[in-house]
Amino acid sequence: MFNRRKILQYSMKYVLENKTAPFWFILYTLLSITIPLMAIYYPKIILDFIEKENQWAAMMSVVCFISLEAVLYIANSLIQTKIQDIQTIVNAQINEDIADVNISVPYMISESSEFIENKNKAIAGLNIQSGTIGIYLTLCNIVAAIIRVILSSVALSMLNPWFSIVILITVLINAFVYSYINKLEEKFWNSLICFNRMFSYIFMKLSCGFRFAKENRLYAMSDIIDEKNNEYIQYTKNKFQQKYKEALPYKILHQAIGQSQMLLIYGCLLYSAYVKGISVADFTVMLSIALSLKGWLNTIIYGVVDINISCDYLQYFYNLSKYKVNNSSKSSENKLDPDSRNIIEFKNVCFRYENAESYALSDVSVKISSNENLAIIGTNGSGKTTFIKLLLGFYRPTSGTITVNGKDISEYEAEEYLKLFSAVFQDYSIYPMSIKDNIVFGEPFDEDKVNRILTELALMPSINNMPDGIESVLNDNSQPNVLKLSGGQEQKLAIARALYKKAPIVIMDEPTASLDSLSEYKIYQNAFQIAKERHMIFTSHRVSCCKNADRVLVFDNGFLVQDGVHRDLIEIPGVYRQLYSTQEHYYT
């Protein structure tokens, strides 16, 4: 059972970041008390003047009431506008924190089904029950309703003490019914979260994403997408029907109890009118109080239920925040000197992906020096990329250890350890930013260095022809007149990013897998020339570039099966010679 108080305290910090928020919430509460009470008692004043045949006083009372009500409603609108502004700021901050957690959380955790589910529920929960601000608006409404109930119950009990008792009992019964109906709502929305994620991917990515536009047209994907959309619609329809079927008896009971309340209220009032002979003005105000009292009690009871439900949803956001806290509590004592010779060692490392039956890597033991060029080769699925992700600390071994200079890499801060590396992955990304920002990122900008790298990668002529040079924005479909690079140019830009970062080891994890062997060979040759003062680790299922490596690691089915140099490995029967013999005609 989670602690709702902790969740409320955690969410309150977002509200209190705006120093004026308490002021606007207090004003909102005061007006929530004043406006309903004024609407109840003013008619009595007017009716009293009418019964006394004081038309002038009655008319002036109407004018004053309407004018005051207009002023209060305008003030209330302004206050709600201010609160909406606060809500916009709070939601932006919360979304920023979700993005921050998503970026800063260890890569292995970010891929886990538990984290993904918690993140999606956190995002969905913030949009249900009005999110964080909705909780505190509900609290304001509860406080205002309590004060209205106290003031009105005193007046009502003077007429008939049974009024308050009858309404309170029926409202409490209805609260339990309402609570169960809301639990059904929560169950319903939770059942749709994962399915909504799949539908969002189908609709937003497959249907609307530019990346899939060519295949959609070439292979007539619209029928398949329509089929998937229809599956979602049918699934949602079934869930709605199930929810309505389960909730219908409770909704009928909810309405029946409400109508019983009304019957009892009118009965008590009619009894008071006939037996006690109260005036029309008193009858009117007492009826308004009785009917309003029912609504105010509902506001209190249902408000408490709504806050509990909101906390249920915010629990996911609260849980998500723990990932960031846990990730930030690391020792900062251990430092690495990128310019020194750092030795990274895998000791009997095994790794298995979540929900996988077999190991992606098995019993890998190897030492890697930061001052050697290393080739990692093997067929698709042999474990090369898994090895790189373990090397970068993105994954933690299922068993075994990875050390740098004798210390487990987990003893270093992630940022400290990653100073040793820059990398180009097979699934590299080009961001909707300028060419310069796509290369520089968090590093200090050195224009000469950028120009030198782009020139040596043969990108500068194309960039010089762009209207804004390296400031030209790429791949942003939300803006007009943006530029798109060819596939080869994008690959070179990703390589330029890796070469720009000041790191002793440049990792190239099959970024050129879609190119032919000769093109791949030329790109690696260029990279070697640019990164003369640094050392490279590159992975491939081709052997075209292994001649430039000081050492070659050969993987097969998750095992490190060979470790040596090119000239020796081609002479030894094994996986490497088999690959070399198969591919030799491409680059000889």
User: What confidence tens digit (pLDDT) does each residue in 118-169 have?
Assistant: 787 777 666 665 567 778 888 899 999 889 888 877 776 776 677 667 767 7
Q: What is the pLDDT of residue 1?
A: 43
Same structural domain, 242 and 286: yes
Residues in the chain: 588
Let me know whether 18 and 161 are in one domain.
yes
Written as six digits, the tokens of 214 are 């060519």
Q: Is residue 337 part of a domain?
A: no
User: Alpha-carbon distance 210 to 443, whole Å?
Assistant: 31
Least confident window among 239-253, 322-336, 540-554? 322-336
More confident residue, 335 or 221: 335
- Whether 127 maps to a domain, the answer reads yes
pLDDT band with cut points at 50, 70 and 90 for residue 29: very high
Q: Say if residue 295's pLDDT is above 70.
A: yes
Strands of the sheet with 407-408, listed across from one edge: 361-369, 343-351, 399-404, 407-408
Q: What's the pLDDT at 328? A: 44
* 466 domain-assigned: yes
- pLDDT band, very low/low/confident/very high, at 46 (cuts 50, 70, 90): confident
The neighbour count for residue 23, using CB atoms within 10 Å, is 12
Which of 272, 299, 325 terminates a domain? The answer is 325
Of 455, 484, 513, the one marking the end of a domain is 484
* Residue-number span of the structural domain to which 468 is assigned: 431-484
Residue 335 falls within a domain, yes or no?
A: no
Token code pair at residue 89: 């700021």
Q: Give the three-state DSSP class for 492.
A: helix
**Together in a domain, 507 and 465:** no
Is pLDDT of 560 > 90? yes
Most confident range (mean pLDDT) of 300-314, 442-456, 554-568 is 554-568
Residues 67 and 130 in one domain: yes
Amino acid, single-letter form, for residue 348:
N
Judgement on whether residues 262 and 135 belong to the same structural domain of the protein:
yes
| Judgement on whether residues 210 and 115 belong to the same structural domain of the protein | yes
Q: Residue 297 sits in a domain of what CATH number?
A: 1.20.1560.10
Provide the pairing of β-strand 559-564 with 407-408: unpaired
Strand partners, 366: 346
What share of the chain has pLDDT > 90, as a percent?
13
What percent of the chain has pLDDT above 70? 81
Count Cα neighbours of 113 within 13 Å in the Cβ-side half-sphere.
Answer: 5
Q: Per the domain annotation, does 376 fall within a domain?
A: yes
What is the mean pLDDT of the segment spanning 170-196?
70
Domain count along the chain: 3
Structure confidence at residue 346 as a pLDDT band (50, 70, 90): very high
- Residue 533, domain member (yes or no): yes
Laid out side by side, the sheet with 535-540 consists of 421-425, 505-509, 535-540, 374-377, 551-556, 559-564
Sequence-distant (6+) residues with CB within 8 A of 521 are 544, 545, 587
Mean pLDDT for the chain?
A: 79
One domain, residues 413 and 452: no
pLDDT at residue 306 greater than cutoff 70:
yes
Task: Answer for the pair 373, 549: CB distance below 8 angstroms, yes or no.
Answer: yes
The answer to whether position 489 is within a domain reads: no
Is the separation of the CB atoms in 10 and 321 below 8 Å? yes
Q: Which residues of 138-156 are buried (b: 16+ CB within 10 A; e: fewer)?
A: bbbbbbbbbbbbeebbeeb
My answer on whether 286 and 400 are in the same domain is no
Greater pLDDT, 279 or 556: 556
Query: In the predicted model, is pLDDT for residue 38 greater than 60?
Result: yes
CATH code of the domain containing 390: 3.40.50.300
Choosing from 296, 325, 354, the residue where a domain stops is 325
Give the mean model confidence (pLDDT) for residues 230-258.
78
DSSP string of 411-457, one letter each residue? GS-HHHHHTTEEEEETT----SSBHHHHHHTTSPP-HHHHHHHHHHT
Both tokens of residue 399? 């068993």
Angstrom distance (rounded) from CA 443 to CA 437: 10
Query: In the predicted model, is pLDDT for residue 53 greater than 80?
Result: no
Q: Is residue 495 part of a domain?
A: no
Q: pLDDT tens digits, residue range 445-481?
A: 898 999 988 888 888 888 888 878 888 888 655 555 5
List the structure tokens of 465: 């022809």
Tens of pLDDT, residue by residue over 501-552, are 888 898 988 766 555 566 666 666 666 666 666 788 988 777 777 877 889 9
Residues 114 and 161 in one domain: yes
Identify the residue whose tokens are 């990653």.
Answer: 418
Residue 305 banded pLDDT, cuts 50, 70, 90? confident
Helix H or strand E encompassing 551:
strand 551-556
Distance (Å) of CA 517 to CA 360, 523, 551, 586: 26, 10, 20, 6
Say if residue 265 is in the same domain as residue 180. Answer: yes
Answer yes or no: do 372 and 444 share one domain: no
Same domain, 309 and 360: no
Helix 131-159 crosses helix 55-104 at what angle (to 10 degrees)?
Answer: 150
Cα 479 to the center of its chain, rounded Å: 24
CA 405 to chain centroid: 37
For residues 404-411, average pLDDT: 90
- Residue 343 gets which letter from DSSP? E
What pLDDT score does 348 carry?
A: 95
